[in-house]
Amino acid sequence: MRWEELPALPEPMGGQFAGTHRSASGESALLVAGGTRWEGSFLDGGTKHWLDGIYVYTLPEGSAQPGGFRGALRELFRLRAARPLGELVTAGAWREAGRLPEALSYGASVSTPRGIVCIGGMHGTRYSRSVLLLQWNGSEIVQSELPPLPEPMALGCAAALGNVIYAGAGQPGPEQDSNSFWQLDLDRTHAGWEALEPFPGPARILPVAAAQDGSLFVFSGAALRDDASGRSYLSDAYRYTPRQGWSALASSPRPLAAAPALAWGDTHILLFSGDDGLLVDQIAELGDAHPGYPLEVLGYHTVTTPGRISAPSPMPRSPLPRCRFRAGSWTPAVNPGRDSACRAPCGAFQSARSGPSAGLTTRLLESIS
């Protein structure tokens, strides 16, 4: 994997919603909405700002590929001869594209063909049930309300299987964690969210979710201790298959709470960095000397067993969503291990695999083989 850096986000932020949507004209856009940023360090009494801005990243005019991701794949070798796809993707620009109805952070977001579904979130000590659909029409963001969650959710997880959105876990309120689990069928939104069998294992915040091979996979997270003394970091893993329910999987090699994750090929899920909890009780003591989260990518094989992939991240990652863009997926990055103000770079890697998908630059990325 070869890493690249995308143009920086317009302002420092963390905990934002993020996703991609392709307009009817075929133009793909990255969207980032909400989040938080610190004015000064939280360790030194800084001020936390809750954001409601929506930013969109688009490619130069005329660069949209017909057929979406598969169209991009068909154009791969032509583009490589004239202009590398990675160079094309990094040639885009950010611009402000509106505001959310309210400032929210730490919700979940899922990219679907119909738009980006932004789920829950929080603002201070207020936790949200709201669900919003963001769509890119080629020139502006269109916002639509979807049925609210049965209960508030922040620091949870979400993923989609087809047109069905799955969401759950996280926090319904201060000092609480949850194992609730729901689904929303985008073809039947009038039916609202349906409660499903709860997550197995302990209630948790910051779990990691990805959809692969007709199932939802959930990894890790952190359980709030009953005595309010902190968090217990988890490395368990589970698979949810519609009409079959939950089954336990082999544990991940280490905890990886809040890690961005994506499906890779037919049987892998890639998990980028994540919080292993080893330094969670030393954040104040370490201050700016905190080394951040582990610089590695884990590959979870959904058929055999999990293992590490030899592909270090360019920088540690914090709790952020990942989303597909063009030939793959992308995630913004903020200051690792510390929720403080920083420049807001965006990372990308390039697959080194052979075959028709080789060379596709992705934004924390999934090849579309």
> How many angstroms separate the Cα of 54 from the Cα of each of 13, 57, 113, 145, 319?
12, 10, 19, 16, 18
Q: How many CA atoms lie within 13 A of 109 on its CB side?
A: 32
Q: Judge whether residue 346 has pLDDT over 80.
A: no
Confidence of residue 142 (pLDDT cuts 50, 70, 90): very high
pLDDT at position 302: 82
Q: How is residue 62 annotated by DSSP?
A: T
Average pLDDT for 112-141: 95
- The values of phi and psi at residue 78, to 5°, are -65, -45
Pick the CATH number of 2-362 from 3.40.50.150, 3.30.450.20, 2.40.50.140, 2.120.10.80: 2.120.10.80
pTM of the predicted model, to two decimals? 0.82
pLDDT at 186 over 50: yes
The answer to whether 23 and 97 are in contact (CB under 8 A) is no
Stated as kind and residue range, the H or E segment containing 68 is: helix 68-74
How much is the average pLDDT of 117-131?
A: 98
Q: What is the mean pLDDT of the chain?
A: 79
Residue 314 has what pLDDT? 55
Question: What is the DSSP code (8-state) at residue 73?
Answer: H
Predicted pLDDT at 272: 87
Q: Residue 249 forms beta bridges with which residues?
A: 237
Domain coordinates of the chain in residue numbers? Answer: 2-362
| 359 confidence band (pLDDT: 50, 70, 90) | very low
pLDDT value for 97: 93
pLDDT of residue 364: 30
**Cα 244 from Cα 255, distance rounded (Å):** 26
pLDDT tens digits, one per residue of 1-16: 666 677 888 888 899 9
Helix H or strand E segment including 89: helix 85-89
Average pLDDT over residues 198-212: 96
Task: For residue range 25-79, list pLDDT tens digits in order.
Answer: 777 888 999 999 999 887 788 999 999 999 998 866 555 544 443 444 344 334 3
Least confident residue range of 113-117, 135-139, 286-290, 341-345: 341-345
Share of the chain above pLDDT 90, in %: 48
| Contact between 34 and 18 (Cβ < 8 Å) | no
- In the 8-state DSSP scheme, what is residue 189? G
Q: What is the mean pLDDT of residues 119-131?
A: 97
Q: Which of 233, 110, 222, 120 is nearest to 173 (CA)?
A: 120
- Mean pLDDT within 250-259: 90
Q: Which residue has the higher pLDDT, 70 or 318?
A: 318
232 DSSP β-pair partners: 223
Quick: pLDDT tens for 279-309.
Answer: 888 888 888 888 888 888 888 888 776 655 5
Burial of residue 310, with CB atoms counted within 10 A of its CB: 0-12 exposed, 13-18 middle, 19 or more buried: exposed
Give yes or no for a contact between 18 and 6, defined as CB atoms under 8 angstroms apart: no
What is the pLDDT, as a whole number, of residue 265? 82
Condensed to tens digits (0 to 9), the pLDDT of residues 93-123 reads: 899 999 999 999 999 999 999 999 999 999 9
Cα–Cα–Cα angle for 269, 272, 276, rounded to 5 degrees: 110
pLDDT, residue 193, reads 98
- Which region among 188-197, 230-239, 297-306 has the lowest average model confidence (pLDDT)? 297-306
CB 140 within 8 A of CB 97: yes
Could you give the CA distance from residue 44 to residue 256 in angstroms, rounded to a whole number? Answer: 27
Query: Tokens 């409660």 appear where?
Result: 195
Q: Is 228 exposed, middle or buried (0-12, 13-18, 19+ CB in 10 A)?
A: exposed
